[in-house]
Each structure stands twice: as C-alpha cells, then as structure tokens.
Amino acid sequence: MGKITLDKVTKSFGEVEVIPPLNLTIEDGEFCVFVGPSGCGKSTLLRMIAGLEDITSGSIRIDGADASKVPPAKRGLAMVFQSYALYPHMSVRKNIAFPMRMAGLSQEEQARRIEAAAKALNLTDYLDRRPGQLSGGQRQRVAIGRAIVREPAAFLFDEPLSNLDAALRVGMRLEISELHERLKTTMIYVTHDQVEAMTMADKIVVLRAGHIEQVGTPLELYHSPRNLFVAGFIGSPKMNLIEGDEAAKHDAHTIGVRPEHIDMSEDGPWQGVVGVAEHLGSDTFLHVHGTGLAETLTVRATGEVAVRHGDEVKLKPRADQIHRFDTSGLRVA
Ligand code: ADP
Ligand code: MG
C-alpha cells in the first residue's frame, strides 16, 4: 500500500518560505508527476516525503500513519536519483543487493528479489558486470533495480532521466511506465519536462514557486488549464495567447488557442506572413507574423504542408477550442 497525504505541509530555509501550506493526496498505485520550472520546489517536496528534508510544519501521512518524524529508512519508500549513485567496484548483482544486505534479508530472499528485478528490467545478462561496463540507460535501470528489491510502498524519482540523451530518455520513459503497469506501486516522479509529465502521469501536479497551480489528469490540464501559467506550461508547441480587441470579442482579457487548433483556411479571419516553416514530415509548424494579434502565432498542421517563408496565410481558430482568461489570468468558465 502506498497512499501518501500531505496536510498543510510547509518548508522554510531560514527566513525563506519555499513551500507555503500545501495539501495533496497521492492515491495508492497512482503515477503522480510533479512538474514545474526549475526552482519551484519539486525536489524539496519529494525530499520531504522521503524524509531527507524536515518539514517546517504540517504533516505527511503514509497509509494513514503520521510519517512526519519517521526517519527515511523506516518510511518504506525508495528514491531514485538523477545521478545513479552506484558503487563502481561492485557488480550489478551486489549493487542491487546492497539495500537488502543492509536490511539483513536472507540469501535466498535476496536471490529471489534480484532475479525478479533483473528480469523486470532486462538486466539478467548483466548481473556480473560492473557499472563502468554499462550504458547510461543500463545504469539507470540498476538504480531502479536497487529500489525495486526493497519492495517499497512508493517509488520516488527525482528527474531520473535528465542525464540521458534524447533517444534514451524516450526509451526509459516507456520502461518506467511499463514497470508501473506491472508493479502497480505508487510512483512520484519529479520533472521539469512537460512531455514526460503528459506521457507518464495518471495525475499531474503543476507547481510554481512552491504553490500548486493545478492538479489533474494530463488531458484535464490540456483541455481545461485553470490559469495562464498552466495553459502556457502544458502543451508543445505552446498555446498562443492573444490579448486586446480579439480577446474582448470573446468576453475575455486573454484568449488562448493551441497551435493544433488553428487551421489554414480561405475563410480564416486571421491573416499573416509565415516567418519560419518547420517541416517535420509528421507535422508542419508555422510561425506566423504580422497578424496584429500576437508577435508570433504558432500553427501546427498535420503532415506535410507546402508553405514557405514569406507566404501569406489565412488562419481560422476552431471556435470550440478557444480558452478564455480574465485579467488575473484565471480561466473563465
Ligand atoms: P526544483 O527541484 O523544483 O528545481 P528545489 O526544490 O530544488 O526546486 O528548490 C526550491 C527552492 O528552494 C529554490 O528556491 C532553492 O533555491 C531553495 N532551496 C532548496 N534547497 C535549499 C537549501 N538547502 N537551502 C536553502 N534554499 C534551498
Ligand atoms: Mg530539483
């Protein structure tokens, strides 16, 4: 079981409050992602759950029991860091076994768990190697293996893929998602990468300056961002934000339209000139200037579109995909 509840949790470093009172429940078995820009408090929050950082006030409960004062090793949680922190002189097998040796598990039990973890992570053939003889992705898997054998109530990941190159990151992202499907253990995963958040999470917690801006499923955040911050943070390329007369027509201070919700159309009310056209094959991204609406409007067309720099285009936003925000940046219902 791994239900984690934060109740009015705060954190101050000296005089500086980096987490104002925060409430959050992570359900048992959930894949919960904390996402937000660098410095917003993601790691601090995760480290408080792990017990590596004291909370200043409030409480943390794990499966109903107050864990606020419980030392990290007794919380039944396993943390996986960005730096793998493997022992270079030990084999993969010994690295994975390490926490079990510390806990004094029997040799048979250790062997059973190592075998299961190695199988789950495709490491069976590498158990006798040393970390130096493995690729970055394999090392990350060993670090995860060392967490799995502890059979934790929850896994805590702090930007575990940031050190990997782009292709490997996509692969590991899928592996971690599959691992969650198989183990069904609670996972809390910290990242600044909204694509990781969108692709992996059951539940996303968007943080800014220690505040929760919104909690929801990936598609809830995509379809109904609660404010301009979430609207701009979730989705790639970013949502276009338009102020002035055009927004006033919709009874809003700002309207937002995602690039994929603007079509090129002869009867389009918006006109501009293509600055850059990015041809990806699968999609074409147009960066359009001179519309009088925003400095640049980004438009995403599916597939190959024969449009080049300097072309004039007419654009039509999809009427049912216009997000409206008030003067304080809050979504208008
Ligand atoms: P994130 O992981 O989202 O990038 P952090 O949780 O690391 O953010 O940091 C949140 C804020 O807390 C930052 O402003 C950071 O400078 C501050 N902070 C983190 N750790 C400490 C510390 N040990 N002492 C003082 N300030 C800290
Ligand atoms: Mg961090």
Q: What DSSP letter does each residue of 204-218 carry, written as one string?
A: EEEEETTEEEEEE-H
184 and 285 co-located in one domain: no
CB of residue 106 inside a 6 A radius of ligand 1: no
CA distance 246 to 307: 26
Beta bridge partners of residue 257, listed in sequence order: 240
Which atom of ligand 1 is nearest the CA belonging to 207?
A: 3
Q: Is residue 16 part of a domain?
A: yes
Q: Please tell me if the CB atom of residue 291 comes closer than 6 angstroms to any atom of ligand 1.
A: no
Distance 92 CA to ligand 2 centre (A): 27
> Ligand 1 centre and the CA of 58: distance in Å?
19
Atom nearest to 210 CA in ligand 1: 10
Q: CB of 39 closer than 6 A to ligand 1?
A: yes
Q: Is the peptide bond before 37 cis (omega within 30 degrees of 0)?
A: no
pLDDT of residue 242: 98
Sheet order of strands, 262-264 included? 262-264, 312-317, 270-279, 283-289, 297-302
What is the count of structural domains for the chain? 2
Report the separation in Å between the CA atom of 157 and the middle of ligand 2, taken as the mean of its atom positions.
10
Number of H helices, E strands in the chain: 9, 18
Specify if 51 maps to a domain.
yes
- Tokens for 52? 């590596």
The C-alpha angle with vertex 30 and arms to 59 and 48, in degrees rounded to 5, equals: 30
Ligand minimally distant from the alpha carbon of residue 82: 2
pTM of the shown model: 0.93
Please indicate, yes or no, if residue 176 is contained in any of the structural domains: yes
Q: Does the CB atom of residue 37 touch ligand 1 within 6 A?
A: no
Q: For a substitution probing ligand 1, which of 12, 40, 48 has the most ligand atoms within 8 Å of its CB?
A: 40
Residue nearest to ligand 1 atom 13, measured at CA:
39
Domain termination residue (choose one: 180, 212, 229): 229
Q: What is the CATH number of the domain that holds 118?
A: 3.40.50.300
Name residues of the chain where pLDDT drops below 50: none
Q: Do the domain assignments include residue 332?
A: no
Same domain for 189 and 106 = yes
Whether residue 248 is found in the same domain as residue 203: no
Same domain, 180 and 296: no
The rounded Å distance from CA 33 to ligand 2 centre is: 13
**Are residues 155 and 82 part of one domain?**
yes
Same domain, 190 and 109: yes
* Per-residue confidence (pLDDT) for residue 186, from 0 to 100: 98
Q: Ligand 2 centre from 248 Cα, in Å? A: 39
Q: What is the pLDDT of residue 73?
A: 87
Residue 156 lies in a domain: yes
CA angle 21, 26, 31 (to 5 degrees): 130
Same domain, 50 and 194: yes
Last residue of a domain, one of 196, 229, 262: 229
Could you tell me if the CB of 244 is within 6 A of ligand 1?
Answer: no
Structural tokens at position 10: 């705060």
**Residues 67, 183 share a domain:** yes
Is residue 17 a part of any domain in this protein?
yes
Residues 224 and 249 in one domain: no
328 ligand 1 Cβ < 6 A: no
Q: Does 125 lie in the same domain as 8?
A: yes
Q: What single DSSP character describes residue 292?
A: S
Q: Is 322 in the pocket of ligand 1 (CB under 6 A)?
A: no
Domain check: are 249 and 224 in the same one?
no
Place of tokens 């500086």: 16
Choosing from 198, 229, 260, the residue where a domain stops is 229
Taking the C-alpha atoms of residue 222 and residue 271, their distance in angstroms, rounded to an integer, is 26
Structural domain that includes position 254: 238-325
Q: How many C-beta atoms lie closer than 10 Å to residue 182's C-beta?
A: 9
DSSP state for residue 261 in the 8-state scheme: G
CA distance 185 to 62: 13
Q: For residue range 150-172, what is the model confidence (pLDDT) as tens digits?
A: 999 999 999 988 877 888 888 88
Within a domain: residue 223? yes
188, part of any domain: yes
Distance 12 CA to ligand 1 centre (A): 10
Do 18 and 163 lie in a common domain?
Answer: yes
What CATH number should be reported for the domain holding residue 303? Answer: 2.40.50.140
